[in-house]
Amino acid sequence: MIPDLFAEPRAAMAPGAVLLRGFALPRETALRAAIDTVTAEAPFRHMTTPGGFTMSVAMTTCGEVGWVTDRKGYRYSPVDPLSGKPWPAMPAPFRALATEAAAAAGYPGFHPDSCLINRYTPGTRLSLHQDQDEKDFSQPIVSVSLGLPATFQFGGPRRTDPTVKFPLSHGDVAVWGGPSRLFFHGVATLKDGAHPLLGRKRINLTFRRALE
Ligand code: SIN
Ligand code: FE2
């Protein structure tokens, strides 16, 4: 029998980096409800980079701390700057998915304290960057894709390293850590479309352990 490589549920992206296709699908209904609960309390907003640009991707957070950016720089904050209140707690289905996906990718014992929720509408993108505002780089990153498909660009330790493109579909989970923890990555401009569950957008959940 010839194996169907495209149906392979697991793809290596780089050393220490794996794409678990469809891993979040069994939880799609619970995840969607939890996203609505979190965003009712801490709405999506477009943050400003230290250089003064407004990000095209809208973001919010749940968990103990949230990644924020403004003219002063990038950092983790225990409060939502919009409300001055703590971020909403991380919903149980979020926490369980992140821990299980990390374990499936070879990182047992991952307990995220932060979940960044990214909302992409058609035409938006996330330029190449490293996730480097966390304290302990031995902890992996777990990144869940929901809604419209996107193209993930995964590079290397230097900004100028070539990138490999991976299609990300609804339910896919990418996990990177160990040797690729600080690799550059980004999301290409989102194409237009409509997703049956989420409509004209893509939602990404990025789980991290930000504090020690
Ligand atoms: C990120 O790198 O912060 C988000 C990745 C994604 O949207 O898939
Ligand atoms: Fe990132």
- Ligand 1, atom 2: nearest CA belongs to which residue? 186
Cα distances from 87 to residues 38, 94, 184, 203, 208, in angstroms, run 9, 15, 27, 18, 15
Asked if 176 contacts 115 with a C-beta cutoff of 8 angstroms, the reply is no
The domain segmentation of the chain, as residue ranges, is: 10-208
Given CATH 2.60.120.590, say whether it is the number of domain 10-208: yes
As a whole number of angstroms, the distance between CA 46 and CA 179 comes to: 31
Q: Ligand 2 center to residue 208 CA distance, Å?
A: 10
Asked if 184 contacts 141 with a C-beta cutoff of 8 angstroms, the reply is no
Prediction pTM value: 0.96
> Of ligand 1's atoms, which has the minimum distance to the CA of residue 129?
2
152 lines ligand 1 (CB under 6 A): yes
Q: Ligand 2 center to residue 1 CA distance, Å?
A: 38
Give, for all 212 residues of the chain, the pLDDT tens digit: 555 555 579 999 999 999 999 999 999 999 999 999 999 999 999 999 999 999 999 999 999 999 999 999 999 999 999 999 999 999 999 999 999 999 999 999 999 999 999 999 999 999 999 999 999 999 999 999 999 999 999 999 999 999 999 999 999 999 999 999 999 999 999 999 999 999 999 999 999 999 98
As a whole number of angstroms, the distance between CA 138 and CA 113 comes to: 15
- Ligand 1, atom 7: nearest CA belongs to which residue? 204
